Amino acid sequence: MSKTIRLSVSILCVILLFTLSLSAPASAVDNAISPLYKNSVYYKKLSNVVLTGNYRDDVITVAKSQIGYHEGDSEADYGGDNLMGNYDFTEYGRYLDSVGRVWCSEFATWCIRVAGVPTDIVNNSNSARAKRYCLNSTAKYYSWDETVYRGGEYTPQKGDLILWVWSTYTGVVSDDDSLSHTAIIEDVTENEDGSVTFLVVHGNATNNVTETIYTVDKENGHTVTPVYDDIVESGTRQDLFKEFDEVSDEESDSFVANSKGYIGYFVAPDYEKELKSTGTITFDSNGGEAVFDSKTIAKNGIIGVLPEATKEDCELLGWFTEKDGGQEVNIYTPCAEPLDRTLYAHWAAAPPKPVPTVILGDVDRDEKVTIIDATAIQRYLASIPTTTYNEEAADVDGDDSVTILDATCIQRHLANLPTQTIGIGEPIK
């Protein structure tokens, strides 16, 4: 074989592999969920999501269950409950085998898949490429000039995706460019002043999952930059807004980096598409009680949300294909024939609940002895309400009654003065 022919074959192989990498849905290795995420508060929130069968609503409900999840610096942070981390380790990136890179698109894809949307409605993507989301699917993409706000036919809706271009981007935007950021639209409001407001849920926004409001100029799709204050409630940030051009250089560090920009494309999944191959999963809680007892699945999708279930004195091991034995399924398990099936909860005896340790002198139960504990005794004796009071811990002198002497013993102990009481600050046996 000549060098020219060998070179041509090599180039064709590279092109074929690249094409396959775009068309084949990526997934976590062996479709396995990470144990850290499965044991996290965010998986528990996901397991309490009740899907409606309306894909637009379900995608947003799944996304909002993850608000507060924070990226990490290693695989040890897949649970998402860490408060710091900058190296893009997330369960969402792990699902697409794309750990260690910016993860806004991975989060959007993960929410769509876990909500039960099959890939023929919108494809997987680990980058903000309009064309990739639409590859091998009936999803479509639109520029700002194709929206109704500019005389076009496309109306942005809940569940659609926005692909942003930050102000640092240079050059002409194309449908195959990896743009700056991906967000899921939760709500759209057309304002009287000639602007449009988008409420979005997105990942990799200040390193976590959050909701943000962006106001967009109808003329050009350029956005107002959100300014975050320090108030954090239930994992969400309270957003304040100012026009970027009105902000002085001294205030500029209050902004999310590069967040002034414009909308490059919208991706509109064909959520209303009539699916030919669907089925119903019935959940048999096997003596327990599940958050929901059935859901619809579709060919080319994954199992998605699995219900939380409870049973007295038991802990849930998982959902299995047989009542006894069988194979465990998880949220990433591909939907396979037969699509109509029953999954069964498997249980194990719950471990005995630990008996709380009572520390002598720790009246307010904060696991340490301080002057506040002495004050709590004084308030109790004066019949003044106290937030937390433990009588066993308060009887530091062991005379089976709580008096002002017990408060004095704690004060002497903290001042390192002699006291006849032994064991203050130690567990009561």
More confident residue, 113 or 400: 113
Per the structure, the count of domains in the chain is 3
Are 137 and 267 within 8 A, CB to CB? no
Q: What is the pLDDT of residue 168?
A: 60
pLDDT above 90: percentage of residues in the chain: 54
Are 368 and 361 within 8 A, CB to CB? no
Distances (CA, A) of 268 to 56, 151, 394: 11, 18, 63
Local confidence band at 248 (pLDDT 50, 70, 90 cut-offs): very low
Indicate the DSSP class of residue 356. Answer: P
More confident residue, 334 or 216: 334
Local confidence band at 249 (pLDDT 50, 70, 90 cut-offs): very low
The verdict on 221 and 300 lying in the same domain is: no
Domain boundaries, position 180: 16-268
Residue 55 has pLDDT above 60, yes or no: yes
More confident residue, 348 or 206: 348
Local confidence band at 385 (pLDDT 50, 70, 90 cut-offs): confident
Q: Is 249 left (phi over 0), alpha (psi -120 to 50) or beta?
A: alpha
The verdict on 252 and 386 lying in the same domain is: no
Q: What is the pLDDT of residue 224?
A: 60
Residue 387 has pLDDT above 90, yes or no: no
Q: What is the pLDDT of residue 232?
A: 35
Q: What is the pLDDT of residue 170?
A: 61
State the CATH number of the domain containing residue 388. 1.10.1330.10
Q: Is 355 left (phi over 0), alpha (psi -120 to 50) or beta?
A: beta
Q: What is the mean pLDDT of residues 54-74?
A: 96
Local confidence band at 402 (pLDDT 50, 70, 90 cut-offs): very high
Q: What is the pLDDT of residue 241?
A: 35
The verdict on 190 and 328 lying in the same domain is: no
Kindly state whether residue 8 falls inside one of the protein's structural domains.
no
More confident residue, 57 or 127: 57
Kindly state whether residue 273 falls inside one of the protein's structural domains.
no
The verdict on 33 and 93 lying in the same domain is: yes
**pTM of the predicted structure, to 2 decimals:** 0.73
Kindly state whether residue 2 falls inside one of the protein's structural domains.
no
